[in-house]
Amino acid sequence: MRRLLIAGNWKMNKTVPEALSLVRELKKLVSDVNDRDILVCPPFTALYPVGKELKGSNILLGAQNMFYEEKGAFTGEISPIMLKDVGASYVILGHSERRHIFGETDDLINKKVISAAKHGLTPILCVGELLEERERGETEVVVERQVREGLKGLSRESEFVIAYEPVWAIGTGKTATPEQAQEVHKFIRGLLSEIFDSEKAKRVRILYGGSVKPENAKSLLEMSDIDGALVGGASLKAESFSKIVKFDREE
């Protein structure tokens, strides 16, 4: 059985005091959860203090992006070594906001994925189609390109996570139906079988991202190929995020 992963992507939100306040509250609310992985991805400025606050807890630390080189003249960038140094174990790569606002290409994202894995960070490779691509019936073409290009050159032994985030459902309040999401997740698992083999494909966690809320988490996470969630807005409040973490427990 794949272990569930519920990840919170805070995006460009929370000062250090706000971040600490959020994780302190979250720690209390999820302290009894030990059958799934819980991950928070604060902005770079809060990584170190949040990491210190999470030591010894059941919550993992991740980053929202990184550059693929270890060090050097790359103004404004953060390296995998720096992320490891502050206690991060995961890194989100290729998020649709990086692709569409900052123009990140499949090739650049692939370099980051390879570098993260090489440095012992688990990359969370984000893939997903725009609304017009879905309407043109191109969902599978787009997702296949992003998965194949993003994982190019990655060894079978490398740990990685895929997050499917239909771009039209991010921050719009629209959500893919559980059935729509499951269809794409199943397609991605099939691709992983082709790229690696069926054993590897069975082990890789595929998360759903795109307006995940306490109200829809259960119906999405009960789907057979959905192994967790990449949560945006709802991860900025401890109460709503903890409800998603505990989606299958009656309060």
List residues forming the annotated binding site for substrate.
Answer: 9-11, 171, 211, 232-233
**Numbered residues of the known binding site:** 9-11, 171, 211, 232-233
Alpha-helical regions (H) of 31-130: 44-54, 80-85, 96-100, 106-118
Residue 165 designated active-site: yes
Distance CA 94, CA 128 (A): 10
Q: Hey, how many other C-beta atoms are within 10 angstroms of the C-beta on 37? A: 20
Catalytic residue among 53, 104, 129, 165: 165
In 3D space, the residue among 245, 229, 222 whose CA is nearest the CA of residue 32 turns out to be 245
Which residue in the block uniquely carries the two structure tokens 């990685």?
Answer: 160
Distance CA 116, CA 66 (A): 8
Distance CA 46, CA 22 (A): 11
State whether the Cα torsion 54-60-64-67 is positive or negative: positive
Distance CA 171, CA 175 (A): 9
In 3D space, the residue among 198, 196, 219, 193 whose CA is nearest the CA of residue 208 turns out to be 219
Q: Which residues contact 182 (CB under 8 A, 6 or more apart)?
A: 223, 224, 225, 226
Catalytic residue among 53, 95, 104, 185: 95
Distance CA 222, CA 151 (A): 27
Residue 159 designated active-site: no
Name the residues annotated as catalytic: 95, 165
